[in-house]
Amino acid sequence: MSGQETQGSAYAALMDYQRETEALAQIAGRLGWDQETTMPRGAAAQRAEEMAAIEGVLHARRTDPRMADWLAEAAAPDAVAAAQLRLIRRSYARASRVPAALAQALARLTSSAQGIWAEARANDDVAAFLPTLAEVVALKREEAACLAGDGSLYDAMIDDYEPGATAASLGAMFDAMRPRLVALKAAALDSPHQPADQQGAFGQEAQMRLSRDLAAAFGYDFTRGRLDLAVHPFSSGSGSDVRITTRVVETDPFNCLYSTIHETGHACYEQGIDPDYALTPLGQGVSMGVHESQSRIYENQIGRSRAFTGWLYERMRGVFGDFGSADADGFYATVNKLRPGFIRTEADEVQYNLHVMLRFDLERALIAGDLAVGDLEAAWNDRFRADFGLEVPRPSLGLLQDVHWSVGLFGYFPTYSLGNLYAGCLHAALRADIPDLDADLAQGQTGAATGWLREKVQRHGGLMEPRALIAQACGAEPSAEPLLDYLEAKFAGIYRL
């Protein structure tokens, strides 16, 4: 066999093997979806063992010695194959540094920790959760030490969600954003022109029916997905099985409706990837920052725009009758109202990143060993008081509100704000390319916007590095300026600043 034939054979064998690994990873993801939606509470201990078992299988496959041989011999015949090899090499190098026993221990612990967190949150019982969180932090630090070598533990964690980003680069991003966000927040909250609050009762069944209509309006393919309820909304899966969840608060319909639009953005990214990439490393979103750019632009720049909220106002009148908003302009202002509040996922566009900054600083301190888990609640409450001027009344509105730390997602939080930054850049480019977009959105037609995003971002999957993908889509390197300019213009109009 010639050298070229050997290289081609090695690449083919590697990709066949990788497709089986990706399929097994999708099965593991489905177990996680089930755990957060329909799994009986009494199954938690068994599910933890199941997750550990499948993680053991996945780790063994990801570190199989044959992978090294195939990677050494394989050659890329084109750009797609080169990208596949780049991502497989990265995964193999990472997995090979982490002992199998540690990978399984983390899978077992984070599976059981999710249930412990959910129960502690429901009971506002921080003490019931902190011992488990301490175990998660310890194991995640051990894993990061395997990955980081002589480098930063926290940077090693970030790299799992946003390759190429570091605590320093993300900290610089936050430093650039904070002053203008804080000034805009203060100006809006001090304005004498305050939008009305939404009041009333909105039944769960009606909210879920409208949520399904909204997901479909944004292009979600229900033949390859489903919408369910969960404690913390999320999206799961890729390719032909991409599921979303939402939650219902009967006094706050926007919680459900905009959580649904947000998760639809995640899901449409996965559904929009080139089907030729299915069950390969390219067949999923390239990073969490890019993923969040899709969910945030669907939710905010499109979903909270004056044009689209005008259509949503009429749809809500059709579902709920006279629900308390006098007209479409008032409804738009209410949807976008700055509300001093505790919950990140319910935060308005101006304050959202301040919630993320709080978590970024606290988890950096945790991982560095500068903050003990036992002191975390006090540190959270002190920082929240300083940033938002509010006393946290109970843990479910503070430390216990997010699922992320219970399942070991340290380094994930800053990608939410990076996603906002990317979304700001994409929105500016989208508006430049489709200047009459509002005419479509006013009719509830999002196809021009979502089609642009599918072409510019979603279809590529993992083909390019994250920043390169955004730069190509926008025609410029990503920066915070488009997002901050958009926010200042939008809220100056709403608050008559």
CA distances from 471 to 91, 120, 226, 460, 465 (A): 24, 42, 32, 13, 10
H or E stretch at 426: helix 414-433
Place of tokens 């319910």: 346
Beta strands in 215-302 (DSSP E): 227-229, 235-238, 241-246
Is 263 an active-site residue? yes
Q: Are 116 and 129 in contact (CB under 8 A)?
A: yes
Distance CA 310, CA 304 (A): 9
To the question of whether residue 262 is assigned a binding role by annotation, the answer is yes
Which residue type, as a one-letter code, is found at position 326? A
Give the end-to-end CA distance of the chain in Å, rounded to a whole number. 73
To the question of whether residue 292 is assigned a binding role by annotation, the answer is yes
CB atoms within 10 A of CB 201: 9
To the question of whether residue 119 is assigned a binding role by annotation, the answer is no
Among the listed residues 22, 263, 270, 377, the single catalytic one is 263
Task: List the one residue out of 407, 408, 405, 361 whose CA is nearest residue 380.
Answer: 361
Exposure letters 308-339 (e unless 16+ CB within 10 A, then b): bbbbbbeebeebbeebebeebeebbbbbbbbe
Q: Are 418 and 173 in contact (CB under 8 A)?
A: yes
Residue list, annotated binding site: 262, 266, 292
Residues at the annotated binding site for Zn(2+)? 262, 266, 292
Catalytic residues: 263
